[in-house]
Chain A
Amino acid sequence: MDWLNAIIQGTLLGGLYALFAAGLSLIFGVMRLVNIAHGDLIVLAAYLALSVVTATGIGPLWALVIVVPAMAVIGYVLQRGILNRVMGEDILPPLLVTFGLAVIIQNALLLGYSADPQKLDAGWLETASVKIGPFALGLLPLLTFAVAVVVVWGLQWMFYHTALGRAFRATSDKQDIAQLMGLNRAHVFGLAMAIALAVTAIAGVLLGIRTSFDPSIGGSRLIFGFEAVIIGGLGNLWGTLAGGVILGVAQAVGAKIDPGLQILAGHIVFLAILAIRPRGFFPRIDG
């Protein structure tokens, strides 16, 4: 029964990892960019929420009203101001620029907020739970998972049912032709990054409510998101959600065996899947 409980908790944790991964998956899908600073942007969103909460006294979930648009604007400006200038055939420049960004964000947060661990206080939501049969499911993990499903569904819907989604798919398929058809590539990329960072904002706030955070944790959040993307298969958002769940379950089961094994177990399952199914479980596009 304990094991089943671990699997259920791991599944819910997978929702958070899918939220880490969704933005990563989106920008890779649209512009083949891997953003090394993604994890640090998640942490940045958590700190923005912290500032909003401290300044206004509203709850962290309400802070999303400010943090989500703020991160979207940061994303658009970042893409148009810096990243668009290094997009191209060569993957090295964008990789190194986002790596530099990661280091800058991390140290700027260290400077502004110190290395002390912080937490977003969501009051009763943190401890409330729902009893289903013999299992007590935390309301927050349930909410996180539900948000992940809604976000993935929303992104999927946007991709296949809106003009913007069409622009994304067209740019993803063939950038030059999309440009010839009158799409402004720079603007489309900017919008993709804006949406990716809006999702990142949600992920950051839910992360901050769930656990304490400090400026140094961005790297491992990037890795969790990345593992979810690869396990699920590139270019498939529902696959990314499945990947997040697999990773979450692996970590929860690992922690059950030995608390020191939690993170390691997740990495090992990822490497094992890479060995037997290098393209992930539900691939749509080539890396």
Chain B
Amino acid sequence: MSSQMSKSLYVTRVSRASSVAMVVGALIALTLIAAPWWAGRAEMRLMAEIFLYISLASLWNLLAGYAGLVSVGQQAYVGLGGYALFGLTMLGGVPPVPAIAVTGVLGALIAMPVALLIFRLRGAYFAIGTWVVAEVFRLTAAQISALGGGSGTSLSPAIIKSLADGRDAREALTYWLALGLCLVVIGAVVVFLRSRAGLALTAIRDNELASKSLGINIWRTKFFVYVITGGLTALTGALISLQKIRISPDAAFSTNDWTAFVIFIVVIGGIGTIEGPIIGTLIFFALRQTLADLGTIYLIILGALAIGIMLRAPKGLWGLVRERFGIELFPLSRRVRGQDD
């Protein structure tokens, strides 16, 4: 009986939907990589912004949705990345592209002592602790007079020109950097969640006590996630500041732009799923393109929508789809299948 079972049944992460999704995803990625040849400047800027928001949302989702580390202070790393890029290029004379890579390392390094400190706060108090850290970063940035203090500064034309020859090449490069980062972030999250550490993380999310008793080092797993997220968020921040070409403490460390929007995106799309942040970002931008004229009402609508979803469908839109149809686009959860399935 048991030998028969092992012959006819097997466990896999791949489903027909996920295989199709991967092929379609690869085609979309190729089309997007070719965008400089088919899209206009404005579209490319918009798409780059979308990619950077997908990165931020995916990273916050990994932190809050998978690791249970609900941060409302990720703007600390967005601003840090921006200020690090400006500091390295304008004060340190480092060429922009290597400088961007350094910001990621810097973000991860700074995340370590921060984690040591704020991991002492539990649950919801951890959230406000992250906010305090972001405020400390913002107020510190406002003290750096070499980068314009409280009013900020612009990236000098010489540095912008050193990116690439000609405006088209520069626009294409910043676009590819944003797209590349977005693909790397999504890829990293998928690979991480499929790894041993990712399994531990999912176990912690499902039941902290049980996973602890199975020998999972909860503190270390969460620390690792926080540090990696810090590094990649700083990298995203560096690319955001490169797009804006200007930096100021209030914009670079904005709670609304880099935390409120990101949280709404993830909640609406579906927290704790990889697809959620991507779908949420697309909805967010669709709403923004249509409702942006409404200004503050737009934010009120977003907030109300997020609360409504939290009350009615806590798993977000993708959670509803998955419950209804059992689809998963990324090959993550294991399923038992028969041989001729």
Partner-B contacts on A (CB < 8 A) = 32-34, 36, 82, 85-86, 91-97, 99-101, 103-104, 107-108, 110-111, 219-220, 222-223, 226-227, 230, 260, 263-264, 267-268, 270-271, 274-275, 278, 286-287
Contact = CB atoms under 8 A, between A and B. Distances in A.
B121 A96 contact: no
Contact of A91 (B70, B142, B306): B70
A192 to B, nearest CB: 16
Given A220-B135, A260-B143, A100 B125 contact: no
B311 A82 contact: yes
Contacts of B267: 96
A100 B121 contact: no
A267 B136 contact: yes
Interface in B291-318: 296-297, 299-300, 302-304, 306-307, 310-311, 314
B255 A100 contact: no
A278 B117 CA distance: 9
A287 B125 contact: yes
Q: Identify the interface centre among A33, A93, A227, A286: most chain B CB within 10 Å of its CB.
A: A93
Given A86-B311, A100-B304, A100-B306, A278 B120 contact: yes
Contacts, number: 116
A260 B303 contact: no
Best-buried of A91, A94, A110 by chain B (most CB within 10 Å): A91
A104 B140 contact: no
A286 B121 CA distance: 10
Contacts of B303: 100-101, 103-104, 107
A199 B215 CA distance: 45
Contacts of B68: 92
> Interface extent on B, as a size class?
35 or more
Interface of B: 64, 68, 70, 72, 117-118, 120-125, 127-129, 131-133, 135-136, 139-140, 142-143, 255-256, 260, 263-264, 267, 271, 296-297, 299-300, 302-304, 306-307, 310-311, 314
Nearest to B259: A99
Given A267-B139, A270-B132, 14 more contacts: A34-B124, A34-B127, A36-B128, A92-B68, A96-B306, A103-B303, A108-B300, A219-B255, A222-B128, A230-B125, A260-B143, A263-B135, A264-B139, A264-B143
A36 B127 contact: yes
> DSSP majority for the B interface?
helix
A271 B123 contact: no
B299 A99 contact: no
Contact of B263 (A34, A82, A99, A111): A99
Nearest to B127: A95
26 contacts: A32-B124, A34-B125, A91-B123, A91-B124, A92-B271, A94-B124, A96-B263, A96-B267, A97-B310, A101-B307, A103-B300, A103-B303, A107-B296, A111-B296, A223-B132, A230-B125, A260-B142, A263-B139, A264-B140, A264-B143, A268-B136, A274-B117, A278-B120, A287-B122, A287-B123, A287-B125
Which 6 residue pairs across A and B have the least CB separation, nearest first? A34-B124, A278-B120, A103-B303, A287-B122, A104-B303, A107-B296
